[in-house]
Structure 1
């Protein structure tokens, strides 16, 4: 633009009543055009400078035909970048330049010139404001897109974290219980091996059965974490999805380990979803495992019943002579499982016993 303005100023004669271009005129055009380099950084300063040079060129008798363009471009920049107050100052600067041009120009401004000036003023202000609006909208859209992308990333992280917690809970509850029962049965078999080899053989058989079940649980978990090669989703098979009827087998494993477990079940009156049944089974499994781990004697009582629209599960074991278990991964897993079902969970000492209480909604209509 600088080169074009200087060439036009030098080669195109202005005609009467203006004088021919001189070095000062070319310098004014050049400086006005060079000022546009800083129009993005200091737009107000540039509009004042280009407007002042437009008035000065009119005062020395140089036509405004070339000098006006830097001023209009500066005005456009102010309206595209600045707020209301700076834009008002820029409009005043441009208006003052127009007024100075009309007063000092050697030619009388007619209707055609006034229409041209008005059109240029409107083009600079309205066009700049439109550009500012579009840029603001584009920036807002980019910010919204960035916020949505962050929210999607956070949602994905939360889902992954929740899945990891659920899988960790499954491994802890299923394998932890199995290993604990195996250790107890192995200890019983070792102690009675000489005096009661038949009971020891039965205990070893229980260890084998529980161990195979634990391996099945682990295999199903690994299939979930690493699906088969054909890409099909791997779901827990029926054998890996415990329900309330499996509590009898669990009681048998505990009794084989030398501990008394009393079951009070009213399965015929209980209406609960498959997921709810799985939750209740895991709570019983973990609570019994804790009882076996933290106490060496005394009965363990498991009661399950439906009370209105809720299913109530209570596990109590004799705690006399033993410290109450600390809040660990097992109690946390049980609490999270029950809360995910929309239920209530309590665990703590009651008199001389330790009680685990879980209440979940009965949802027979859900899978």
Structure 2
């Protein structure tokens, strides 16, 4: 209710100003009309039309007190000063000066508020001197206190308004920051999924290409081997589709009722390394998996990182190692870190290796997430090596012990 009323008042500021000024105008008209009707004259010798004209000049500018408070105060105070200079005694309409002073105090800076307060106090003193030659100090003090109270109320309203504006600005800034954080989080998630898709597609498509090439060579002389190669291509394709469906499934909304069960399947880890090595061996690349030291339990994130690094490194060996190449995957568990080495004896520096590819970038990003590092490059005697170092957490060392 109050919110709708506030919104309506913002849409119709002129109507609100008129409603606020209506009681003041009615009170002034009643105060002026009663002596005129009873005695036929009023203070200062003004007629009824003179009072109405003076009241109009003093009241009408107040309708613009919120949009132009300084101009309104200047007009009202100047009219009141001219009234004093002409010897016309104050009327109830002169309270418009106090209303204009309040507008300046509540809407303008402190220096203008102080200036408006001093001008109003000066006008009050001049009015008392005009009304009587022997002014009562108590009456003047009471009127002065009233003016100061109105001025302080305007200062408080100004301070509170600025405080509320600051709160609204901070709330808007917090909302913008929240939206930006949500966008950054979404971008990071998309980047993660892109890396996962790159690893899956690059590995499985490379395996399928090697199998298809082998099937093409063997289809005439060794049809049974060609059949096995085609079966491996089919199995690899199904595995690639399953992994892609699992990763892309997180992007599907529950509103469509289309969240697949595969979307919640666990990510591959150290337990799936044997399957990965077996798959690469079936593609024609001899791979030897070695584990040095006491195996330690790693978090799922680090296990996925190890799996993807091995997958990417073996995929590159399969693609660029050349015929007759072999690879060795060595996992060395140390006291504080896990050292992962993937080495092949292929063409090495002669292979069309691109250091700026997404595979190496993905490896470095994954390891950096856990405070590790990756080194990759051709070996002096031939072949290529990828060395990744991942720190082992205290919990993993304690479970291993």
Range class of TM-score, shorter chain: 0.7 to 0.9
Q: Which stretch shows the higher mean deviation, 140-149 or 318-327?
A: 318-327
Q: Does 1:328 align with 2:357?
A: yes
Which of 1, 4, 13 pairs up with 2:35? 13
1:217 aligns with 2:226: no
In structure 2, the partner of 1:259 is 285
Compared CA separation, residues 341 and 56, structure 1 to 2 (3 A): same
Alignment of structure 1 residues 57-206 onto 2, 5 Å: 57-106=83-132, 108-111=134-137, 113-206=139-232
User: Mean alpha-carbon deviation: is it higher for 136-145 or for 338-347?
Assistant: 338-347
* Other-structure match for 2:268: 242
User: In the superposition, relative to structure 1, how do residues 28 and 236 fare at CA in structure 2: closer, same or farther (>3 Å)?
Assistant: same
Alignment partner, residue 310 of structure 1? 337
Report how far residue 154 of structure 1 moved. Answer: 0.9
Residue of 387, 394, 400 corresponding to 1:357: 387
Aligned-pair RMSD on alpha carbons? 3.0
Shift of 1:187: 0.7
Partner of 2:58: 32
Check conservation: 2:245, 2:263, Cα contact below 8 A. Answer: no
Which SS does the other structure have where 1:356 is aligned?
Answer: strand
**164-173 or 200-209: which moved more?**
200-209
Q: CA deviation at 1:354?
A: 3.4
For 1:76-100, what per-residue CA distance to the aligned partner results, in whole angstroms no more than 9, with x for missing partners? 1111112221122112211221222
State the shift of 1:225 in Å. Answer: 2.6
Partner deviation per Cα, 1:72-122 (whole Å, 9 max, x = no partner): 011111111122211221122112212221222356432453144223312
Once structures 1 and 2 are overlaid, which stretch shifts more, 145-154 or 86-95?
86-95
**1: CA distance between counterparts of 2:134 and 2:77?**
19
Contact 1:313 1:358 in 2 (8 A): yes
Residues 35 and 50 of structure 1 are in contact (CA less than 8 Å); yes or no, is this contact kept in structure 2? yes
| 1-structure distance, mates of 2:253, 2:291 | 37
Instruction: Give the deviation of 1:35 after TM superposition.
Output: 2.3
- Structure 2, gaps ≥5 residues long: 1-20
Q: Where in structure 2 are the equivalents of 1:40-55 lying within 5 Å?
A: 40-55=66-81
Distance, in Å, in 2 between the alignment partners of 1:361 and 1:235 is 29
Closer, same or farther in 2 for the Cα pair 1:184/1:44, shift >3 Å?
same
Q: Would the aligned equivalents of 1:32 and 1:70 in 2 still touch at CA under 8 Å?
A: yes
C-alpha contact (below 8 Å) 1:315/1:355 kept by paired residues: yes
Tell me the CA shift for residue 184 of structure 1: 0.6
Query: How many angstroms does 1:164 deviate by?
Result: 1.3
Question: In 2, are the aligned partners of 1:58 and 1:105 still within 8 Å (CA)?
Answer: no
1:10 Cα deviation after fit: 5.3
- Paired residues in the alignment total 365
Contact 1:75–1:90 under 8 Å retained in 2: yes
Normalized against structure 1, the TM-score is what? 0.87
Whether the 8 Å CA contact 1:43–1:78 is kept in 2: the answer is yes
Residue 259 of structure 1, CA deviation:
2.1
**Please, which moves more after superposition, 260-269 or 161-170?**
260-269
Structure with the greater relative contact order (CA < 8 A, sep ≥ 6): 1 or 2? 1
Unaligned runs of at least 5 residues, structure 1: none
